[in-house]
C-alpha cells in the first residue's frame, strides 16, 4: 500500500505505483476492434500518460489551468487524468450522457482550456451551446470523424494527430498535496451545478480511510461501471486500487454488465442502489414464474441466511436452523451469487439510500454488501459499514480520520482532511456549507446509534407539509413504493395540499399491460392499491390517494434525471404541473 505521505499527490501515487509494479496488470478493457479483452501493465499506462503530457505541454497548457474529460470509463480516462495531474493541471470530469447545455455551462464556469471527447455525437450535442468567447481552445476526439465546418474557428482534433510520436518521459511537476487537483460539479438537482474543489490531499486521505475500512489488496479485481466522473467511483474504484496495486476491469456498458460480471469475475464492485434494485427486481420476476415450492425455498434461504449473518456479526445466538444453510446455499444462494461472478468479497453501495429489504436480502444470500454515506464535498466517503460491523439499515460509522456530529435539527456534520477546499468561485455557497469550525453541513438529517453507527433519517429541505399540518418524508415513501416490481420510478407530492399524490413510471416489462388505456380509472386504482400495500407501515395521513401514470421514463437525456441517476424533483414537478393539478380536481 502506498501511503499519502509517500505519494504526496495523485500524480505521485501513480508514479510510485509504476515504480513498484511496472510489469503487473493495471487495467483490463474490451477492444471493440478485435472483440476481445486486453490487459495493460502499469508501465504501458505510464507510456500513455507521458505521451498525453507531451501533447498538453505542446499546446501551452500551464499548471492551474483546467482540462475537461467527457469519456466513458477506460484506460484513456486514467491516462489523461494522470497526465494533467502530473503537470499541475486541474481536471474537470464530465458525464458522457449529460445534456449539451449543462456541459457548456461547466466548460464556461471552469474556463476549461482543453476538452477530450470520445466521438462525433458528443461534439454535435455540445456544438449549439458553446461559442468562441469561451476559454476552450482545443478539443480532442478519440475517434476519427468528419466534423464539418464550425463558426468557432477550430474543430476537434483526432487523438492520433494530437499525440506526439516516439517515447516520452513521465513528469511529476508538483509535490504540494494541498494544491487543487480537480473540480467536480455536483449533479444540480435543484439548480445549476456547483464546482466542488478537491485537493490531492483531500482525495488521498479519503482513499486511505476507505482502505482501512475494507482492506483492499493486490489480488483484488475491481469491475468499474459507475462513471469515473462520479466521485465515489473515482476515489474508491480508481485511486484506491492504484494505492493498493489492485487490478481494474472496465465494464463495457450497463446492458453488458451481467455478462461482464461472469467474464471478469470481480472481487470488488462499487455501485449506486439502482443497480442492486434492478438485480433484485429481476430475481423477484424470475421467482414469480417458478412454482410455489421454489419461492418458499428462496424465502427460507433469506430467512436462515439473515440469521446466519446476525450470528456471525455477534448480534444473535446460534439456532438449529443454521444447520440447513449448506443445503440452502447450494440450492439458492450460490446460484444468485454466481450471476455476479461468484467470487465477490466486497460489494459497496453509496450515492443514495438502499431500500433495507434489498440490502438484507443480498446480505442474507451471502453477498458482503457494505452501505456507506458521502457527498462530493467529502471526497466523497464520510462513513461506511465494516465487514465485521455491518448494520445495513445504517450507513456505518465515520471513516478513520473523519469526525461526525449532529447539528441543529439533527443535521449531520462532517469534518476531516477529506472535506473540500470550497466551491469554485462561490465564496457565499462555501461559507454556507462549511462553518468557521471546519464542519461540513451535509443537509441530511441523521441519528447516531449503537457503536457510532449513522442512520440517515431524511433531508432538511425535503419534507412535505400537508394542509392539515402533518409532515411526511417523500424520500422514505418513494423508497417503499419503488420496492414494487411494477413501478420503475416514483415521486410523491402534496405540499400544502389535503392529501398526497404520486407520479408513476411503470417498469418496461409491465408497460404493455397499461398502454391500452393508460388514463383509465381502473389502472389508477390498480396502482393506488399496490402503493397502499407498500405504505402499510406509514401513518394514515401518509397515503397516496391518486396517481398519474407518465408515458415516458425520466432520463438524463430528457433532463429529468441527473447523470448520477438522481431524480430532478423540481424539473419533474414543473413538467407535470398540469397533471398534478388534475389529481386534485373534484376532491
Beta strands 369-374; 381-384: pairing state = antiparallel
**Per-residue pLDDT averaged across 32-48, rounded?**
95
Would you state the pLDDT for residue 151?
Answer: 46
**Per-residue pLDDT averaged across 256-268, rounded?**
95
Q: C-alpha grid cell for residue 531?
A: 402503493
Give Cβ neighbours of residue 556 (< 8 Å, ≥ 6 apart).
95, 97, 98, 99, 562, 563, 565
> 538 or 87: which carries more pLDDT confidence?
87
User: Do the beta carbons of residue 47 and residue 168 sit within 8 Å?
Assistant: yes
89 pLDDT exceeds 80? yes
- State whether residue 7 is helix, strand or coil: helix
Residue closest to 466 by CA, chosen among 363, 558, 543, 385:
543
**Per-residue pLDDT averaged across 84-113, rounded?**
92
Would you state the pLDDT for residue 510?
Answer: 62
User: Do the beta carbons of residue 446 and residue 454 sit within 8 Å?
Assistant: yes
User: Do the beta carbons of residue 100 and residue 125 sit within 8 Å?
Assistant: yes
> 465 or 516: which carries more pLDDT confidence?
465
> 406 or 534: which carries more pLDDT confidence?
406
394-426 residue pLDDT tens: 999 999 999 999 999 899 999 999 999 999 999
**Per-residue pLDDT averaged across 431-445, rounded?**
94
0.85 surpassed by pTM: no
Pick the CATH number of 4-175+215-269 from 3.30.200.20, 3.40.50.12780, 3.40.50.2300, 3.40.50.360: 3.40.50.12780
In the DSSP assignment, the letter for residue 23 is T
Give the pLDDT band (50/70/90) at residue 318. Answer: very high
Give the pLDDT band (50/70/90) at residue 539. Answer: confident
Cα(422)–Cα(416) distance, rounded to whole angstroms? 14
Q: C-alpha grid cell for residue 344?
A: 465477490
The domain locations on the chain are: 4-175+215-269, 464-582
User: Do the beta carbons of residue 110 and residue 87 sit within 8 Å?
Assistant: no
In the DSSP assignment, the letter for residue 40 is E
**In the chain, how many H helices and how many E strands?**
22, 26
On whether the 464-582 domain is CATH 3.30.300.30, my answer is yes
Would you state the pLDDT for residue 508?
Answer: 72
Give Cβ neighbours of residue 525 (< 8 Å, ≥ 6 apart).
none
User: Do the beta carbons of residue 417 and residue 429 sit within 8 Å?
Assistant: no
- State whether residue 345 is helix, strand or coil: coil
Element (H, E) at 198: strand 195-199
Would you state the pLDDT for residue 580?
Answer: 92
Give the pLDDT band (50/70/90) at residue 191. Answer: low
Residue closest to 498 by CA, chosen among 549, 543, 548:
543
Rounded CA Rg of the chain: 25
Would you state the pLDDT for residue 132?
Answer: 66
187 pLDDT exceeds 80? no
Q: What beta strand segments (E) does 233-312 contain?
A: 247-250, 268-271
Amino acid at each position: 500500500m502506498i501511503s499519502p505521505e509517500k505519494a504526496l499527490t495523485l500524480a505521485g501515487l501513480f508514479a510510485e505505483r509504476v515504480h513498484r509494479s511496472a510489469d503487473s496488470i493495471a487495467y483490463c478493457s474490451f477492444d471493440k476492434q478485435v472483440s476481445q479483452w486486453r490487459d495493460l501493465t502499469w508501465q504501458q499506462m505510464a507510456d500513455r500518460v507521458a505521451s498525453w503530457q507531451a501533447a498538453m505541454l505542446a499546446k501551452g497548457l500551464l499548471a492551474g489551468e483546467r482540462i475537461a474529460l467527457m469519456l466513458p470509463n477506460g484506460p484513456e480516462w486514467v491516462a489523461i487524468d494522470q497526465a494533467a495531474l502530473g503537470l499541475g493541471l486541474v481536471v474537470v470530469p464530465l458525464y458522457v450522457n449529460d445534456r449539451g447545455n449543462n456541459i457548456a455551462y461547466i466548460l464556461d464556469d471552469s474556463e476549461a482550456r482543453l476538452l477530450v471527447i470520445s466521438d462525433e455525437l458528443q461534439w454535435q450535442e455540445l456544438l449549439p451551446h458553446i461559442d468562441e468567447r469561451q476559454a476552450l481552445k482545443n478539443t480532442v476526439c478519440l475517434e476519427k470523424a468528419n466534423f464539418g465546418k464550425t463558426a468557432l474557428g477550430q474543430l476537434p482534433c483526432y487523438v492520433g494527430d494530437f499525440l506526439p510520436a516516439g517515447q516520452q518521459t513521465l513528469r511529476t511537476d508538483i509535490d504540494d498535496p494541498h494544491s487543487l487537483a480537480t473540480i467536480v460539479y455536483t449533479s444540480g438537482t435543484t439548480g445549476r451545478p456547483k464546482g466542488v474543489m478537491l485537493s490531492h490531499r483531500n482525495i488521498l486521505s479519503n482513499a486511505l480511510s476507505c482502505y482501512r475500512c475494507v482492506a483492499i489488496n493486490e489480488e483484488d479485481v475491481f469491475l468499474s461501471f459507475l462513471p469515473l466522473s462520479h466521485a465515489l467511483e473515482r476515489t474508491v474504484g480508481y485511486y484506491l486500487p492504484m494505492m493498493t496495486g489492485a487490478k481494474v476491469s472496465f465494464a463495457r456498458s450497463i446492458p453488458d454488465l451481467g455478462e461482464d460480471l461472469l467474464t471478469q469475475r470481480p472481487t470488488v464492485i462499487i455501485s449506486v442502489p439502482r443497480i442492486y434494485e434492478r438485480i433484485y427486481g429481476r430475481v423477484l420476476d424470475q421467482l414469480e414464474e417458478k412454482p410455489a415450492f421454489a419461492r418458499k425455498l428462496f424465502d427460507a434461504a433469506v430467512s436462515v441466511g439473515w440469521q446466519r449473518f446476525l450470528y456471525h456479526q455477534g448480534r444473535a445466538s446460534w439456532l438449529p436452523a443454521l444447520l440447513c444453510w449448506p443445503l440452502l446455499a447450494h440450492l439458492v444462494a450460490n446460484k444468485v451469487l454466481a450471476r455476479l461472478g461468484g467470487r465477490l468479497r466486497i460489494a459497496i453501495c453509496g450515492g443514495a439510500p438502499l431500500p433495507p429489504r434489498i440490502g438484507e436480502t443480498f446480505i442474507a444470500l451471502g453477498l458482503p454488501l457494505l452501505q456507506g454515506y458521502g457527498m462530493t464535498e467529502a471526497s466523497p466517503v464520510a462513513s461506511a459499514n465494516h465487514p465485521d460491523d455491518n448494520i445495513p439499515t445504517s450507513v456505518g460509522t465515520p471513516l478513520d480520520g473523519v469526525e461526525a456530529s449532529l447539528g441543529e435539527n439533527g443535521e449531520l456534520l462532517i469534518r476531516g482532511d477529506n472535506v473540500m477546499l470550497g466551491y469554485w468561485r462561490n465564496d457565499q455557497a462555501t461559507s454556507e456549507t462549511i462553518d468557521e469550525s471546519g464542519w461540513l453541513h451535509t443537509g441530511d438529517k441523521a441519528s447516531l446509534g449503537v457503536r457510532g453507527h449513522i442512520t440517515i433519517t431524511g433531508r432538511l429541505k425535503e419534507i412535505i407539509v400537508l394542509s392539515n399540518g402533518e409532515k411526511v418524508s417523500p424520500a422514505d415513501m418513494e423508497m417503499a413504493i419503488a420496492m414494487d416490481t411494477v413501478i420503475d420510478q416514483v415521486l410523491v407530492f402534496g405540499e400544502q395540499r389535503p392529501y398526497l399524490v404520486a407520479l408513476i413510471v411503470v417498469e418496461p416489462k409491465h408497460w404493455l399491460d397499461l398502454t391500452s388505456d393508460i388514463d383509465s380509472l381502473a389502472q389508477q386504482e390498480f396502482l393506488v392499491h399496490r402503493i397502499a400495500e407498500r405504505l402499510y407501515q406509514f401513518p394514515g395521513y401518509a397515503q397516496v390517494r391518486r396517481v398519474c401514470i407518465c408515458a415516458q421514463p425520466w432520463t438524463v437525456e430528457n433532463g429529468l434525471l441527473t447523470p448520477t441517476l438522481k431524480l430532478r424533483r423540481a424539473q419533474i414537478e414543473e413538467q407535470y404541473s398540469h397533471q398534478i393539478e388534475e389529481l386534485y380536481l373534484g376532491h
